[in-house]
Amino acid sequence: MTQIQSQLKNWQGVPFTNVIIDDAFWRPRLEVLRKVTLPTCLTKCEETGRISNFARAGGLMEGKFEGIYFNDSDVYKVLEGIAYSLMSERDPELEAEADRIIELLAAAQESDGYLCTYYTLEAPDSKWTDMEKHEMYNGGHLIEAAVAYYEATGKRTLLDVACSLVDHYDRLFGPGKRHWVEGHEEIELALVKLYRVTQEERYWKLSLWLLEERGHGHGVGEIWDKKEWGPAYCQDDVPVRDIEKVTGHAVRAMYLYTAMADVVHASGDPAYVDALHRVWAHTVERNMYVTGGIGPSRHNEGFTHDYDLPNESAYCETCAAIAMVFWNHRMNLLFGDAKYADVVEREMYNGALAGISLTGDKFFYVNPLASKGDHHRVSWFDTSCCPTNLARFLPSIGQYSYAQTGQGIAVNQYMNGEAKFVIESGLNVKLKQTTQYPWDGKVKLSVNPESSGFLSIRLRVPGWCRGYKVQVGGKYLSRVEAQTEQGYIVISRTWSQDDTIVLELDMPVEIVRARQEVSENIGRIAIQRGPIVYCLEQTDNSELSYDEYTFSAHERLQVDHLPELLGGVTILVGKNGEGKPCEFIPYYAWDNREPGFMQVWVREAEDEGLYSL
């Protein structure tokens, strides 16, 4: 085995249906997602003609195409969210609604398998002339919805539509056939999903071919002609295996890297490993906001240059934060390193979660780290990728909690609840977490193998955590056993029924500073506690004015958990550098009350002291 191949751990994901989330943080959000967000999104899709486009393309309705050429994808994404919701809880009404919509989707598919309502209705003779027109992007989301719906219900209708569509792609494109570079990556990761559920090898191989098409000048259309964008915008500037830096549109980049990781995982071929490591380091070490947000620029909805992380103008598209989860989860499965699950956590609790209101029906597209008071969530957008992405991301969030490592289980996320596994040896294991995470760092894990058996349990010690203790069966682990490997405590032993692990993670209030190269944050500090990044909102800080106050890194903050505030949050209460009262709330919870300013990075009060502590 080469050195690179030996890096590949090739862990398997654990489906979210194996994971019951029963806590005070996520479960209420998931209920709202199901009861409010999904219906809201469906209604918006109806009202804006997104669903009617299919009916029209299928000849079931008169009329022109409504909206923008990628609008098909919104319907698919909502369907995908519905599918995940049905996986958690069957709902005949919702299923009936989904089936009705699927009928329309199927009707819109042309006889040769092509499916994209924009071209069918507007420009049937112009297909495949412009990489930017999201034809395969739409197709990818269709695939994801189809796979999810099939897994949820066993129904094949949409899956058959997806397979026909991909067979159509397969006939037109591929080795020896037409070139194609899809402007907005998405199809590539979707094809791997389709392969996994159908076991049809040519699906992931088509993905590989599409990835290999990039960076050789095969792009066509508007984007290629726009000098200001250039091929870096859609990651078509270099062959993917040669990628050194993250560039361009953030969501596209993240979906690309996700697909590259998927292809490595599916094929076992390490060809993309070096590029993945390089671009991960470049993204996370030079281009990521403390909230996990990425892509500072509204011009290209993406990246500019290293360390360019302005707070007020931060673009940080919600979809990009969600896509960071997708990518980092794959990286965790590939390499078995907790640092990727750290990024998943950062997005889950901050950058991605901020995208949705507590009421579940308002959304951010753009997620700044500072606002003078005029940035608010709204109920829909002309380009509504973000609401629909949240609609499918959140219901399946349990899939990020665990991984199967062959010899055992890796615990990647801490949430009160239960999960079940079948490890490689065939042993059935249940694991129950008792914890108040993310508000408290103590986690009790009950390990319940159906019979006594050998099993390796990995516990992630989050990257923000500097001190921990771990007990098994009431005894602290020995120094050797309690050491971390790639960020995990590894406990390999024979487990009996109802063995208990108690993990205590230091979860103090912490001051965060950014590297000096981040010029906007020179002289500023942020507050974090556990995975939660905090912010100041005007409504709690009436004596303060936007950016006209300081905060001392030595302030002692009262840690106050308020179950009735903002769905139940721990707030931090103290005085600012000018002696005025100040309160911090979790960043994800901002803009859910009265409008006003918000800041994550605040000016640090001058410190005469010698030591940071």
Q: Please work out the total of residues on this chain that contact a second copy, with binding judged by CB under 8 A.
A: 55
Q: Does 610 bind a second copy (CB under 8 A)?
A: yes
For a second copy, the closer CB: 97 or 555 = 555
- Smallest CA-to-CA distance from 550 within 586, 573, 572, 578 is with 578
Q: Which residues pair with 379 in a beta bridge?
A: none
By CB atoms closer than 10 A (0-12, 13-18, 19+), residue 529 is buried
Angle at 525 between CA 524 and CA 531, to 5 degrees: 150
- Shortest gap between Cβ of 95 and a second copy (angstroms)? 44
| CB 361 within 8 Å of CB 376 | no
* Stretch of 66-74, 207-215, 381-389, 555-563 lying at the interface with a second copy (CB under 8 A): 555-563
Least distance from a second copy to the Cβ atom of residue 156, Å? 46
The H or E element containing residue 225 is: helix 222-225
Cα 258 from Cα 273, distance rounded (Å): 12
Would you call 385 a catalytic residue per the annotation? yes
378 binds a second copy (CB under 8 A): no
Write out the binding residues for a second copy, residues 571-590 only, by CB under 8 A.
Answer: 572-575, 581, 583
Least spacing, CB of residue 283 vs a second copy, in Å: 10
**Residue 89 C-beta-side C-alpha neighbours within 13 Å:** 12
- Residue at token pair 């992405």: 389
In the complex, the smallest distance separating the C-beta of residue 540 from a second copy, rounded to whole angstroms, is 10
Q: What is the H or E stretch that residue 493 is in?
A: strand 488-495
Task: Give residues 299-328 in contact with a second copy (rule: CB under 8 A).
Answer: 307, 309
Q: Which stretch binds a second copy (CB under 8 A): 136-144, 270-278, 373-381, 603-611?
A: 603-611
Which of 214, 286, 330, 524 binds a second copy (CB under 8 A)? It is: 286
Bridge partners of 489, per DSSP, are 459, 484
Distance CA 278, CA 152 (A): 37
User: Given the complex with a second copy, which of 110 and 274 has the nearer CB atom?
Assistant: 274
Return the residue of 101, 146, 290, 321 that touches a second copy, per CB under 8 A: 290
Cα→Cα distances 260→364, 446, 527, Å = 28, 36, 34
Answer for which of 47, 558, 594, 606 binds a second copy (CB under 8 A) is: 558
Whichever of 223 and 470 has its CB closer to a second copy, that residue is 470
Name the nearest CA neighbour of 237 among 251, 226, 248: 248
Stretch that binds a second copy, among 47-55, 85-93, 178-186, 456-464 (CB under 8 A): 456-464
Query: To the nearest whole angstrom, how small is the minimum distance from the Cβ of residue 553 to a second copy?
Result: 8
Q: Which stretch binds a second copy (CB under 8 A): 142-150, 375-383, 403-411, 569-577?
A: 569-577
Query: Which 3 state secondary structure label does DSSP give 264?
Result: helix
Give the residue among 15, 366, 313 at the shortest CA–CA distance from 193: 15
Q: Tell me the C-alpha distance between 534 and 527, whole Å.
A: 5
Stretch that binds a second copy, among 12-20, 63-71, 89-97, 550-558 (CB under 8 A): 550-558
For the record, the structure tokens of 394 come out as: 């959140």
By CB under 8 A, the residues from 510 to 549 that bind a second copy are 510-515, 518, 528-529
Among residues 399 and 528, whose Cβ is nearest to a second copy? 528
The Cα diameter of the chain in Å comes to 75
Nearest alpha-carbon partner for 405 in 343, 337, 502: 337
The distance of closest approach from Cβ of residue 470 to a second copy in the complex, given in angstroms and rounded to an integer, is 7
**Which residue number, 309 or 589, has a Cβ lying nearer to a second copy?**
309
Q: Which is nearer to a second copy, 126 or 558 (CB)?
A: 558
Q: Is the dihedral of CA 293, 297, 299, 303 positive or negative?
A: negative
Q: How far is CA 43 from CA 266, 343, 359, in A?
A: 37, 33, 16
C-alpha count within 13 angstroms, C-beta hemisphere, residue 229 = 20
Q: Under the criterion CB under 8 A, does residue 506 sit at the interface with a second copy? A: yes
Q: Are 470 and 489 in contact (CB under 8 A)?
A: yes
Q: Which of 116, 316, 385, 386 is catalytic?
A: 385
Q: Is 290 helix (H, G, I), strand (E, B) or coil?
A: coil
Q: Assess 199 for contact with a second copy (CB under 8 A).
A: no
594 given a catalytic annotation? no
Tell which one of 165, 509, 532, 605 touches a second copy (CB under 8 A): 509
- Tell me which residues in 462-491 interact with a second copy (CB under 8 A): 463-470, 476, 479, 482-484, 487
Q: Of 38-46, 295-303, 423-431, 501-509, which segment contacts a second copy by CB under 8 A?
A: 501-509
Does 555 engage in binding with a second copy (CB under 8 A)?
yes
Q: Which of 507, 536, 589, 598 binds a second copy (CB under 8 A)?
A: 507
Q: Contacting a second copy (CB under 8 A), which of 285, 424, 594, 606?
A: 285
Q: Is 20 exposed, middle or buried (0-12, 13-18, 19+ CB in 10 A)?
A: middle
Kindly state the smallest distance separating residue 532's Cβ from a second copy, in Å: 12
Work out how close the CB of 285 gets to a second copy at its nearest, in angstroms, rounded to a whole number. 5
Q: Which of 185, 301, 345, 604 is catalytic?
A: 301
- Pairing status of strand 532-537 against strand 524-529: antiparallel
Q: Tell me which residue has tokens 């992007």.
A: 137
- Which residues contact a second copy (rule: CB under 8 A)? 281, 284-286, 288, 290, 307, 309, 461, 463-470, 476, 479, 482-484, 487, 506-515, 518, 528-529, 554-560, 572-575, 581, 583, 608-613
Catalytic residues, by residue number, are 301, 385
